[in-house]
């Protein structure tokens, strides 16, 4: 598994991360197998959130590996906060209490990366800054970032926050590409030309923020996976062609498509299936050509200008 640097933090991590949202559905034994399998295939970063399984996913993760300092130093743990029942909350009080809860559930003294989960329109950035300062100074959080934020929202935070915001977790897949579409359809009068995210792809590259694509196998917004989906026969035929050429699975090709982008993104893999994860991890060894990348982009339903 290749490595990348998260932002300009100096933190070297696997170029894919295991998303632990569904870990609450596993037994301790099965979760142990999933985590060990990820580490064996070079995936050393694990993505959590305080709301995943109502906190149970973090608990099972720690229990499954009998969390201790020697195990902890082998992994990079990221968690998120800010989503509550029916509203968003970036208040200092909630950020601090959320981190305390995650630390307790994860049985660790520190979080490597804390992300603000979804934008809170009632955010008071001074409170975020105060919370980040306290967490950094206490050693409870080492690095910070955001999730699902646009450039202007990030700039608002950066006006007050002293710490670098090193990552932004955003939805992206071969069949969900608005951040790419707008940059290819500049100055045109059709739907793909609409800039919906403030140019977050280019902003991230300019400001050294690592994009972490979530749901990398979804089409639409949680409409289902596109791999081996009968709705997309031509796409799956093309994935199969490149799959055979590279000796990897179709899912690995879908991830290799994301990894090929020079923005140096870090996909979040949500599978709890050990064989599937092992197959997907092989994407790290695949280098799609420029022609192959655009071929998949077009066959996924996109038209070039």
Residue boundaries of the structural domains of the chain: 3-299
Nearest alpha-carbon partner for 167 in 268, 31, 25:
268
Q: How many CB atoms lie within 10 A of CB 177?
A: 19
Per-residue pLDDT of the chain (305 residues; tens, 9 = 90+): 999 999 999 999 999 999 999 999 999 999 999 999 999 999 999 999 999 999 999 999 999 999 999 999 999 999 999 999 999 999 999 999 999 999 999 999 999 999 999 999 999 999 999 999 999 999 999 999 999 999 999 999 999 999 999 999 999 999 999 999 999 999 999 999 999 999 999 999 999 999 999 999 999 887 899 999 999 999 999 999 999 999 999 999 999 999 999 999 999 999 999 999 999 999 999 999 999 999 999 999 999 99
CA distance 153 to 277: 34
The reported pTM is 0.97
Res 55: pLDDT? 97
Q: What is the dihedral of CA 16, 17, 21, 27, to 10 degrees?
A: 110
Q: Which helix (H) or strand (E) holds 127?
A: helix 125-138
First and final CA of the chain: distance in angstroms?
A: 35
Q: Tokens 């209490």, residue?
A: 97
Nearest alpha-carbon partner for 286 in 256, 242, 264:
256
* Cβ-contact 296, 58 below 8 angstroms: no
Res 11: pLDDT? 97
Q: Which residues lie closer than 8 Å to 189 by C-beta, 6 or more apart?
A: none
Report the alpha-carbon angle 293-296-299, nearest 5. 150
Q: Which helix (H) or strand (E) holds 112?
A: strand 111-116
CA distance 183 to 189: 13
CA distance 294 to 66: 45
Pairing of strands 210-214, 111-116: unpaired
- Residue 280, helix vs strand vs coil: helix
DSSP string for residues in 170-207: EE-BTTB-HHHHHHHSTT-SSGGG--SSSSHHHHHHHT
- Known catalytic membership, residue 242: no
CA distance 179 to 131: 30
Nearest alpha-carbon partner for 229 in 219, 214, 221, 220:
219
* Cβ-contact 143, 166 below 8 angstroms: yes
Arch. (CATH architecture) of 3-299: Alpha-Beta Barrel (3.20)
Nearest alpha-carbon partner for 227 in 218, 154, 189, 46:
218
Q: Which of 52, 203, 242, 297 is catalytic?
A: 52
Nearest alpha-carbon partner for 70 in 108, 114, 19:
108
């Amino acid at each position: 598994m290749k490595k990348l640097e998260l932002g300009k933090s100096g933190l070297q991590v696997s170029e894919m991360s295991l998303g632990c949202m569904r870990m609450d559905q596993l037994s301790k034994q099965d979760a142990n197998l999933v985590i060990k399998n990820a580490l064996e295939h070079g995936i050393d970063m694990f993505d959590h959130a305080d709301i995943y399984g109502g906190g149970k996913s973090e608990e099972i993760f720690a229990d499954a590996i009998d969390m201790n300092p020697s195990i902890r130093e082998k992994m990079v743990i990221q968690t998120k906060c800010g989503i509550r029942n029916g509203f968003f909350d970036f208040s200092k009080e909630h950020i601090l209490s959320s981190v305390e809860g995650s630390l307790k559930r994860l049985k660790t003294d520190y979080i490597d990366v804390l992300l603000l989960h979804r934008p809170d329109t009632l955010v008071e950035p001074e409170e975020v800054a105060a919370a980040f300062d306290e967490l950094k100074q206490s050693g409870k959080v080492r690095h910070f970032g955001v999730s699902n934020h646009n450039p202007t929202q990030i700039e608002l935070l950066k006006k007050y926050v002293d710490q670098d915001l090193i990552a932004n977790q955003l939805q992206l897949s071969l069949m969900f590409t608005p951040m790419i579409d707008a940059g290819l359809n500049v100055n045109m009068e059709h739907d793909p030309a609409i800039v919906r995210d403030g140019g977050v792809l280019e902003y991230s590259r300019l400001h050294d923020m690592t994009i972490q694509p979530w749901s990398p196998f979804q089409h639409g917004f949680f409409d289902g996976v596109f791999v081996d989906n009968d709705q997309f026969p031509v796409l799956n035929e093309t994935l199969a062609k490149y799959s055979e050429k590279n000796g990897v699975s179709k899912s690995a090709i879908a991830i290799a498509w994301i990894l090929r982008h020079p923005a140096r993104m870090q996909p979040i893999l949500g599978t709890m299936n050990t064989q599937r994860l092992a197959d997907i991890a092989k994407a790290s060894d695949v280098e799609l050509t420029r022609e192959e990348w655009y071929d998949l982009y077009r066959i996924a339903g996109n038209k070039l200008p």
